[in-house]
Every structure is written in C-alpha cells, then in structure tokens.
Amino acid sequence: MRFALFVVFAVTIVVLATVLLSWGAQRRLEVLAGSFVMADPARLPMMDVALVLGAAPIGPEGGPNRYFEYRLDAAAALWRMEKVRYLLVSGDNRSADYDEPTAMRAGLIARGVPGERIYRDSGGLRTRDSILRAKQVFGQERLIIVSQHFHLARAIFLARQEGIEAWGFGARDVDRPYSMFTTLRRYPSALRAYYDVWFDTPPRHGGKPIVIGADPPT
C-alpha cells in the first residue's frame, strides 16, 4: 500500500513539474520573441521571402480550418503591401490526399498572389523542419514568418537560434479554438523547441537546394 502511494505521489510530482516547465518554456519564448512579432505589417522590414507555416486545410468540424485561412489572409496582405517578393508555404504532404502546401498555394492564388511567386515545401512536417529547410534547402537567412501569435513565439525562437534574421507577422487568431488540445499543445511544443535546439534535431527530410527567384517554383 505504501509503495502504491509512493508511486502515485512520484507520478504526480513528475506531471506537475512537466506542466510547470512547459508553461515556463512558452512564457519564455513569448518574452524572447516579443520584439520581433508585429501585428501591423507596416512595422516589418522588407524581405525577399515570407515563410507561411502550414496547418490542416480542413478543421475538425469538417469546414475550412480558420487557422489555415487566417494565415493565408495575412500572407496575401504582406505580398500586396510589397513587404515580400515571394511566399514559401511549408507544411505536411503525408499522402496523395493530404497536401498542405498545395492547398496553401491554391488559397493564395485565389487571394490574388501570382503562382510564380509561391514556392512549396512539402517537408515541413513540423515547425522546426520548416525553419531548418527554409535555410538549408531554400537558402534563406532573412525571413518574415506568418502564423498566429502563439505559434510565432516558438518559430522566431527556433529561427534565431539557427542564425536566421526572423520577424513574425501575426495572423488573426481563432476566437474559439476547436478543442482544448489546440489550446494546450503550445506548451509541450515550447518545451520540445528547447530540446530540439539543445540536441540539434535535424529535419526529417533533406533535398537539393532550391534558389527562390531563380529556380522555377516547385
């Protein structure tokens, strides 16, 4: 009986410690990235490329994913203001019928961005992969990153740890998140970001170099 109580107590301590560490990691990322994330695109420096981070095109209720749509709105606004010349859309292409970058490209074209200004990265399985591939495959060392504010804190941290001059443009947030999981996942993801930096986690996919603006869009 005493041993069982000890196990329950130990597990509870570990869980609480993990929760506190995750919360602290997210708060620290927000502080570190705060001065580089802008809600007003006029305050952003001009760049050649904006990296648009992917999301599922379809939300859990079966309609358009608002996170996805708002990121495309923000990216198209950046391009129209001539803050960037090209958009690099990075996401998951896990199967023939699930292709975030192609859906992002189609959505941006529908918003008036010419197709020849949009490059796709199908190896962006997660945020770190998108950041590393933007530098290693697409040769970018200066970027505006587009996503919601809570996501940008982690993305800016990861990019600047890789020597990328990264700025963030905050897309409109979702007023009512789809699920508690959507809201809470940012905290363990923040902790994972520190792990990835400390242990230099590589991207899952490589690829031959692509020169944005010289090579044809993929």
Tell me what pLDDT residue 100 has: 96
pLDDT of residue 177: 66
Segments of the chain scoring below 50 in pLDDT: none
What is residue 34's predicted lDDT score, i.e. its pLDDT?
77
Q: What is the reported pLDDT for 22?
A: 65
* HEC per residue, the chain: CHHHHHHHHHHHHHHHHHHHHHHHHHHHHHHHHHHHEECCHHHCCCCCEEEEECCCCECCCCCECHHHHHHHHHHHHHHHCCCCCEEEEECECCECCECHHHHHHHHHHHCCCCHHHEEEECECCCHHHHHHHHHHCCCCCEEEEEEEHHHHHHHHHHHHHCCCEEEEEEECCCCCCCCHHHHHCHHHHHHHHHHHHHHCCCCCCCCCCCCECCECCC
pLDDT for 13 equals 63
pLDDT at residue 113 in the model: 98
